[in-house]
Chains A and B, each alone.
Chain A
Amino acid sequence: MGGNWFGGNWFGGNWFGGNWASGPGGGGSPVFAMRADRPLAEIAITRDYTAKFRDPEWDPDLRALAIMPEFMAQTIGGKQWQAAVALPPPTYPVTAKMIDEVLVLAVAERPEALGEIVEENQNFQLRWLQLLNITATTHPQTFLLMKIMARVGEFAMIQLKLQHPNPAGAAPPPYWYQPRPSQVCPTLYPPVAVPGHPAYPAGHALIGTLTSECLADILPQYKEPLRALAARVAMNRVIAGLHYREDIDAGARAAVALKPFLTACPFYAATFKLARDEWK
């Protein structure tokens, strides 16, 4: 599948139903009536003027975007989420130790981790679906809830990445941001495309941790494996040479700090309730 409305293929949901395992209502290639010489329209049928586009027919990728105004307006104790997260600036200039750590991991761990790195490059919430053995069809509300987490996570990630321009000190535009490890040391040679956004904080760590922490509210019995999966996905991005260790720590902490602002949103709360019922 090609790119999507986020420019890159960051999270993979696109106009054609998303490239997760399945869009709403099942998978398979889309089939359309295409033949101009034999339109189905020649057949006279009874029209249904009471037809409705129902909730399950929504593309969850897009439906989830409705969370954004609620999330942005949310305040807790008079604070908005950015104030509650308050990440410190990244370490700049990047130190030799930071690069050496990533290099050692690239050599020592990448061969074994490569399969997961490639699988998790995009649409990595698939790994959570796999862990819980669910799909959009079996658990549509849980699926939508995860999409909500993803949309909020993507938004927060971009806002936080924009928060620390010119990390060495204030300077006028043009702005620049924390470089990816492979920009400092090209021989890290990440096995997947280097994303089109700066290194700090790590998006996979943020969205993965948010996904695990929120799902743990529904499935407290899986809290530990959910957290371990989030940590694993985050660490794989370091092994891939895309992040420093501090990026993933910051991403994970940001997720924990912003979670209360998400769970306080009415759309999230309503979907959460429906999602929880799917597990009864």
Chain B
Amino acid sequence: MTPWELRTGYVRVLMQRNRNRVFLQAANDLIDGNSPARTMRDYVHENAASDFLIDGEFGALPIWDGADQRPAVSITDRGENASSLLALDKSIKFLIRAYVSPGRLSKPDFNEGEPVWLDSDVRGTLALPPANKATGDADMVRQDLNTAVLQDNGLYGAGVAVAIVDTGICRAHLAKRLGFNPALDVGNSWTPPTVATMPGLHRIGHGTMCAYGVLVVAPNVTLLDYPLLLGRPAGEHTVSATIGEMMRGYLILIWRWAVTGAIPQDALVVNNSWGIFHPSLDDFPPGDPRRYIDNPDHPFRLYIWLLTAFGADVVFAAGNCGKGCPNPVCLQRTDGMIMGANAYDEVLTIGGCDIHDTRVCYSSQGPSIAGMPQQKPDVTAYTEFLGSKVLRGPRGFEPDTGTSAACAVASGCIAALRTARPPTATDPASMITVLQATALPLGGAVPNHDYGYGIVRPVAAGRSLGIIP
């Protein structure tokens, strides 16, 4: 049976359910790199109805005491403590993915009153023409950020892992454009099972552009390839990734970073140059607790929070729906367009400016969508520069563009600083504060809704942290 066999249309949701043996095994399967479909098969079959279908391939994700309950963890718990605190058999609640008819979903006793959330579509935030004019190149970005001073102080990004949560990396292209072969940890990368290409060998595109932006600032980082934006559910009509796929990849990251210690680096930066394009993609009406875009209690937040609680820096693009020249996908809407995870408190949200320090006219502005933390973006970083050359247009190569590129440059800045300042010394929240306090203030009084606290200045941040004299 497939989703479209449900006779009445369907909504794709994430459902909270109580622990059972099947979920426990399915979560184990996922973490072990096996398909949970076989484990889930009988459960799927027993629960199937004409208007309800569980996605067995998705498996089950632990959310411990529930999406709104945060396990008592800290950065120093990484390793042994984490494996006991987050042990799968300690998880009372699990998330599964299901396709449900709108009628059944609206019944008050649906899922026996346990919470349900939308598993919404998400996509990479690439700006499209006409806003595609290069204002400089990668060298000018380095000059503006003064990376020479970073590197004089040894801040190359060595010993820092940067996860590129995107459409996948083409390492050979990066090597060609950068003149050196960047480090990529294939073993600690993760590819959704519906994707055929391997880590570092994905088609040249958005993800490669983002990896390039990081490496421009911090060339010695170790890349982790998480092409979650390609991970659409098998057999789904839609062509995009979903928050559920993001959560699966994030669970792997949490596990390898915090629990098993498979990621050996001292710091982890997670680059997220993606988001939900338009409020119309949220299937539930405003005010509904199952929504994603303006709901700080969506379970994805728990996973983001967990990563940051264990010391990972999570960086998000603001989006390309700013006043001036919003991307066509915004459908002319520019108010409250920083939505979903891009607006969470725990993440550093990045607006975009060109190399002349002027906000690019598509960079999404605050305030965020009502219901979420309002002061976004946090800081601004460079975009619209001729860099990775992943896109070729009618007049030659297109510049790296969108707040996607800006997000990657900001991730590179953090990675450079993390070379000498692990999260055990400066936690992600403090790092955000330092970056805000040392940013080049622009756009009038700061923080404002165009630049946040201003343009990111890694050297000033390094001085403030005491790692640059």
Contacts and interface: CB of A to CB of B under 8 A. Distances in A.
Nearest to B194: A228
Dominant secondary structure of chain A at its interface with chain B: helix
Given A97-B280, A101-B280, A246-B9, A231 B236 contact: yes
B237 A235 contact: yes
A224 B234 contact: yes
B238 interface: yes
Interface in B200-237: 234-237
Contacts of B4: 209, 231, 248-249, 252-253, 256
Interface residues of B, number: 25
Contact of B329 (A107, A228, A234, A239): A107
A205 B234 CA distance: 17
Contacts of B128: 107
Contact of A227 (B8, B235, B327): B235
A157 interface: no
Interface string B260-280: 000000000000000001101
A96 interface: yes
Contact of A231 (B237, B278, B280, B329): B237
Nearest to A238: B237
Contact of B235 (A97, A231, A238): A231
A104 B7 contact: no
Contact of B5 (A88, A100, A113, A256): A256
Given A96-B280, A103-B331, A88 B8 contact: yes
Interface string B1-26: 01011111110000000000000000
Given A100-B331, A253-B4, A245 B237 contact: yes
A105 B242 CA distance: 15
B352 to A, nearest CB: 19
Nearest to A248: B237
B235 A228 contact: yes
Contacts of B327: 107
A49 to B, nearest CB: 55
A207 B350 CA distance: 46
Contacts of A96: 280
Given A107-B328, A107-B329, A256-B5, A249 B237 contact: yes
A66 interface: no
B290 interface: no
A86 B278 CA distance: 33
B2 A227 contact: yes
Contacts of B234: 224, 228
Contacts of B78: none
A108 interface: yes
Nearest to B276: A104
Nearest to A246: B9
Interface string A226-252: 011001001100110000011011101
Dominant secondary structure of chain B at its interface with chain A: loop
A249 to B, nearest CB: 5
Nearest to B2: A227
Contacts of A245: 237
Contacts of B6: 253
A109 interface: yes
Nearest to A225: B235
Nearest to B329: A107
B328 to A, nearest CB: 4
A239 B239 contact: yes
Interface string A79-117: 000000000100000001100110111011100010000
A108 B280 contact: no
A103 B5 CA distance: 26
Contacts of B329: 104, 107-108
Contacts of A257: 7
A249 B10 contact: yes
A253 B5 contact: yes
B55 to A, nearest CB: 14
A104 B277 contact: yes
B277 A108 contact: yes
Contacts of A252: 4-5
Interface in B78-132: 123, 128
B281 interface: yes
Interface string A121-140: 00000000000000000000
Contacts of A238: 237
B233 to A, nearest CB: 10
A248 B240 CA distance: 17
B379 to A, nearest CB: 27
Nearest to B126: A108
B129 to A, nearest CB: 11
A105 B128 CA distance: 14
Contacts of B239: 105, 109, 113, 235, 239
Nearest to A250: B9
Contacts of B278: 100, 104
A104 B337 CA distance: 14
A249 B9 contact: yes
A245 B6 CA distance: 14
Contacts of B7: 253, 257
Interface string B280-323: 11000000000000000000000000000000000000000000
Contacts of B8: 88
A107 B240 CA distance: 13
B238 A100 contact: no
A207 to B, nearest CB: 14
B281 A101 contact: yes
Interface of B: 2, 4-10, 123, 128, 234-240, 277-278, 280-281, 327-329, 331
11 contacts: A103-B331, A104-B329, A107-B128, A209-B4, A224-B234, A227-B235, A239-B239, A248-B237, A249-B9, A253-B6, A256-B4
* 8 cross-chain pairs, A with B, having the tightest CB-CB distances, nearest first: A100-B280, A252-B4, A107-B328, A107-B329, A97-B280, A235-B237, A104-B278, A231-B237
Given A209-B4, A224-B234, A249-B9, 16 more contacts: A100-B331, A101-B281, A104-B277, A107-B128, A109-B239, A227-B2, A231-B236, A231-B237, A235-B237, A235-B239, A239-B239, A249-B10, A252-B5, A253-B4, A253-B5, A256-B5
